[in-house]
């Protein structure tokens, strides 16, 4: 890598200060730079670090709830009052719920349980 993932992420954060029309142009240049430096394969890590830095700078914590089936969004929101919650209905879970807060991931889905059984049998 030409630059550390954290530096790329910090640069992305700095783009938010630009006017909208300049953001798009700068983002295109950023992607071209990643390609030129051979770092485009690190895009997901850069995005993860970006989210982590953004969350630390923000007063509001973010949580993502992935689920399939019926859940009580109101109950979850009342249990996590200081969080901005994104609810994502995800058929890949096959049922159950996954909660992601920062780097913490709690998986109580059928897909997750099947993966645990598979690992245990191998």
CA 106, CA 83: separation in Å to the nearest integer? 16
What residue ranges of the chain have pLDDT lower than 50?
none
Give the pLDDT score at 87.
Answer: 95
What residue ranges do the domains of the chain occupy? 5-57, 61-121
Q: Measured over all CA atoms, what is the biggest interatomic distance in the chain, rounded to whole angstroms?
A: 54
CA neighbor of 23 nearest in space, from 35, 41, 34, 11: 11
DSSP string over 35-96: HHHT-GGGHHHHHHHHHHHHHHHSSSEEEEEEEES---HHHHHHHSTTEEEEEEE-GGG-SE
Give the pLDDT score at 16.
Answer: 86
Give the pLDDT score at 101.
Answer: 84
């Amino acid at each position: 890598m030409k630059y550390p993932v954290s530096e790329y992420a910090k640069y992305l954060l700095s783009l938010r200060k630009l006017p909208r029309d300049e953001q798009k142009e700068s983002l295109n240049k950023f992607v071209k730079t990643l390609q030129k430096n051979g770092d485009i394969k690190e895009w997901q890590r850069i995005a993860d670090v970006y989210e982590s830095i953004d969350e630390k700078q923000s007063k509001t914590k973010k949580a993502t709830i992935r689920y399939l089936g019926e859940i009580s969004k109101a109950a979850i929101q009342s249990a996590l009052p200081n969080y901005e919650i994104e609810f994502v209905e995800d058929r890949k879970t096959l049922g159950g719920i996954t909660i992601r807060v920062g780097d913490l991931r709690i998986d109580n889905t059928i897909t997750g349980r099947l993966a645990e059984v598979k690992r245990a049998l191998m």
